[in-house]
Chain A
Amino acid sequence: MSEIADDATDAGDDMAAEPSEIHGCPVSDSRGQVVIHPSRERYIEVVKALADEGYAVCADLTAVDYLDYVHRPLPEGIAQERFEIVVNLLDIINRRRIRLRLQVPAGDAVAPTLFDIHPGSEAMEREVYDMFGIEFTDHPDLSRILMPEDWIGHPLRKDYEVGKIPVQFKGANS
């Protein structure tokens, strides 16, 4: 019913058939949605190329910590790292969406910022920093946005406890 992506019949000529590469990055399909997997070196370049192609709006930028689910399905040639930054871009003119999944290793949790191309990603990147600890180089104001400034730890990481206090009721799971 709601195949949101892929009305791409009159988009660029490399989108018409199921391509194996977009701007040089491997492509996968996730429930009918197009997902590309750039590398960190080519990340900015790919986003800029997509912006030129029409994906003018950065709808969403978030991250996932795959500590407990290391062997998730990824296309060949992409090394699985602990963190993934997920960017959803929206093309208003051609009415399509595309998703980027960038692998970020645990020891070197740094990624380039999209602020210069999409200023609307500023708050979203701050949230990713706050919740996951991934730093964005060249971000104008990389500080905590949701937690207090002096909070220690990054709450959405899988090794950060939920912080439940024990409740009297047996079997209550939250």
Chain B
Amino acid sequence: MTATIRDEGAQEMRPRSELTARELMREIGSVLRMSEAEVAELGEMPDDPDEDQTMIINMGPQHPSTHGVLRLMLELKGETVLRCKPVIGYLHTGMEKTAEQLTFMQGGTNVTRMDYLSPFNNELVFSMATEQLLGIDGDIPERAVWMRMLLSELNRMSSHLLFMASNGMDLGAVSMMIYGWREREEVLRFFQKVTGLRMNHNFIRPGGVAADLPAGWRDDVLRLLDLIPERLDEYDILMTGQPIWRERLQGVGVITPDEALALGATGPILRSTGVAWDLRRDMPYLHYDQVEFDVIVGSYGDAFDRYAIRLNEIRESMKIVRQILDVMPIGDYRIQDKKVTPPPRARIDESMEALIHHFKIFTEGFKVPEGEVYVGIESPRGEVGCYIASDGSPTPYRMHVRAPSFVNVQCLPHMMRGGLVADAVAVISSVDPVLGEVDR
């Protein structure tokens, strides 16, 4: 795919020689807060008499890396990447427009398909925003809160396992793809038992969760917790200590804390630079302040740190899940507010009121008071936030999801500069974008 496709619009990238100094400074220097003189003498890339030797090539949108439809325009000099421009929008689904047509109860089905690798986190942030608007966020039953935490953490595990699989495959350890998916299947089997679906569950709804945990769930979770640690140690042997792996990842895609903060990167990217920012610990939601876990922080800001952080976050998530197993209370799985929660199906035969509530909630939807709210939680990729503006009707007036991958993709040009093309693949893989939430 080397020809520029004229049909979907020419997203052009002119060669560096054609850019004015000011444009170049904006592109490269603003993040680093460099002056024009510093930009002009960017060490590794001297002004060359044969500047016309640079080549602009197009990577994607259909390419074998598993990260979806991301298109990168790279300006190369030989094998070195000088500049990079990511072009997105190939998966734009108009989800924010669709959200204005769906009621708040249906909103979960829409939002869950944005970051399709961690659907529970999307549903959770949407539900939390709706609950804040409704004013019931302090009244969610305990069991529902702990169930949400359990599912979120298991989701984090499955998402990071997929990261390890795709990271391994991108860098050549193809068997890692098979191993990662093997573990993920185990977690997805548990999800299917609880929610009925392997992916895109629409299980966490405003007011609680959709159904109770099935009988025997404790044994399933314990089986998972017994199975995965030794597999993770296998991955450590396969990858972490392996010289080829280290050579390919260490020093690749380095980003400093200032740059990461300036670009708005959150999640493993920010933590790899040394900034210990994890919303679960620093601005706790649900009951994360009642569980013990460590926040894994890197020191070099390179791709190896991000890989190690995600590997260890799987271990931390398992720790949290173990604690949740001990604490899970008995109780309701959703709030008993008739206006928000549909009644149990059996009551519909008995009570006229229950029938009316059921009807109203499922056809018209429950009305949410006016206002606007922003809630941010920690998804496996960073801070996922949901901004809802409501005008008192059953559908949101405006729903916007702050997708972590959308902001993290801005780090790509910065991380790739000066590296090789092969490192470009490693960098994309270490940022772990999910194009569903980038494009929404």
Minimum CB–CB distance for A127 against chain B, Å? 8
Whether A72 touches B400, Cβ cut-off 8 Å, given contacts A56-B261, A123-B407, A149-B8, is no
Measured between beta carbons, the chain B residues less than 8 angstroms from A121 are 264
Residue B327 interfacial (CB < 8 Å): no
Question: Which of B39-47, B343-351, B382-390 forms part of the interface with chain A?
Answer: B382-390
Contact, CB under 8 Å: A59 / B383: yes
- Residue among A32, A59, A97 having the largest count of chain B Cβ atoms under 10 Å: A59
Contact, CB under 8 Å: B373 / A33: yes
Residue A24 interfacial (CB < 8 Å): no
Residue of B nearest to A174 (CB): B101
Whether A4 touches B402, Cβ cut-off 8 Å, given contacts A119-B31, A145-B88, A156-B96, is no
Q: 0/1 per residue, B88-118, Cβ < 8 Å to A?
A: 1100101011100110000000000000000
Minimum CB–CB distance for B235 against chain A, Å? 31
Residue A120 interfacial (CB < 8 Å): yes
CA distance A123 to B263 in the complex (A): 10
Partner of A69, one of B31, B266, B283, B397: B397
CA distance A9 to B103 in the complex (A): 38
CA distance A100 to B145 in the complex (A): 30
Measured between beta carbons, the chain B residues less than 8 angstroms from A173 are 101-102
Residue A36 interfacial (CB < 8 Å): no
Minimum CB–CB distance for A44 against chain B, Å? 15
Question: Which of B61-69, B130-138, B352-360 forms part of the interface with chain A?
Answer: B130-138
Number of CB contacts from chain A to chain B under 8 A: 150
Contact, CB under 8 Å: B102 / A86: no
Measured between beta carbons, the chain A residues less than 8 angstroms from B266 are 57, 59
Interface size range of chain A in the complex: 35 or more
CA distance A131 to B96 in the complex (A): 10
CA distance A33 to B277 in the complex (A): 20
CA distance A119 to B33 in the complex (A): 10
Residue of B nearest to A65 (CB): B398
Contact, CB under 8 Å: A149 / B10: yes
Residue A82 interfacial (CB < 8 Å): no
Measured between beta carbons, the chain B residues less than 8 angstroms from A33 are 373-374
Residue A106 interfacial (CB < 8 Å): no
Minimum CB–CB distance for A157 against chain B, Å? 10
Residue B244 interfacial (CB < 8 Å): no
Question: Which of B22-30, B185-193, B203-211, B294-302 forms part of the interface with chain A?
Answer: B22-30
Contact, CB under 8 Å: B261 / A92: yes
Residue A155 interfacial (CB < 8 Å): yes
Contact, CB under 8 Å: A145 / B373: no
Measured between beta carbons, the chain A residues less than 8 angstroms from B97 are 155-156, 162
Measured between beta carbons, the chain B residues less than 8 angstroms from A48 are none
- Residue among A4, A58, A118 having the largest count of chain B Cβ atoms under 10 Å: A4
Partner of B374, one of A60, A92, A118, A146: A60
Contact, CB under 8 Å: A95 / B389: no
Contact, CB under 8 Å: B9 / A1: no
Whether A31 touches B261, Cβ cut-off 8 Å, given contacts A92-B277, A146-B89, A156-B97, is no
Contact, CB under 8 Å: A92 / B275: yes
Measured between beta carbons, the chain B residues less than 8 angstroms from A150 are 9
A residues 120-174 in Cβ contact with B at 8 Å: 120-124, 127, 131, 140, 143-151, 155-156, 162-163, 173-174
CA distance A82 to B262 in the complex (A): 30
Q: 0/1 per residue, A20-42, Cβ < 8 Å to B?
A: 00000000001111000000000
Minimum CB–CB distance for B100 against chain A, Å? 8
- Residue among B135, B370, B407, B439 having the largest count of chain A Cβ atoms under 10 Å: B407
Whether A2 touches B30, Cβ cut-off 8 Å, given contacts A64-B398, A147-B89, is no
Contact, CB under 8 Å: A140 / B27: yes
Measured between beta carbons, the chain A residues less than 8 angstroms from B440 are 146
B residues 123-146 in Cβ contact with A at 8 Å: 128, 132-133, 135, 137-138, 140, 145
Whether A155 touches B94, Cβ cut-off 8 Å, given contacts A143-B11, A147-B89, A174-B102, is yes
Contact, CB under 8 Å: A31 / B88: no
Contact, CB under 8 Å: B373 / A59: no
Residue B372 interfacial (CB < 8 Å): yes
Partner of B402, one of A32, A59, A68, A69: A59
Residue of B nearest to A101 (CB): B372
Residue A80 interfacial (CB < 8 Å): no
Contact, CB under 8 Å: B262 / A146: no
Measured between beta carbons, the chain A residues less than 8 angstroms from B282 are 92, 95
Whether A58 touches B397, Cβ cut-off 8 Å, given contacts A2-B286, A72-B391, A122-B410, is no
Minimum CB–CB distance for A137 against chain B, Å? 14
CA distance A99 to B120 in the complex (A): 26
B residues 357-371 in Cβ contact with A at 8 Å: 370-371
Whether A30 touches B373, Cβ cut-off 8 Å, given contacts A123-B406, A148-B9, is yes
Residue of B nearest to A99 (CB): B374
Residue B375 interfacial (CB < 8 Å): yes
Contact, CB under 8 Å: B406 / A1: no
- Residue among B133, B375, B409 having the largest count of chain A Cβ atoms under 10 Å: B375
Measured between beta carbons, the chain A residues less than 8 angstroms from B94 are 155, 162-163
What are the 4 A-B residue pairs with the smallest beta carbon separation, nearest first? A149-B9, A120-B264, A60-B402, A146-B89
27 sample A-B contacts, Cβ–Cβ < 8 Å, listed by A number? A1-B286, A31-B133, A33-B373, A56-B261, A59-B402, A60-B385, A60-B400, A60-B402, A62-B402, A64-B397, A69-B397, A73-B370, A86-B372, A88-B385, A88-B402, A97-B374, A116-B30, A119-B30, A123-B410, A124-B407, A127-B406, A140-B23, A140-B26, A145-B88, A146-B439, A148-B7, A174-B98
| Given pairs A2-B284, A119-B263, 7 additional interface contacts (CB within 8 A) | A2-B137, A59-B264, A86-B387, A99-B374, A119-B31, A127-B406, A148-B7
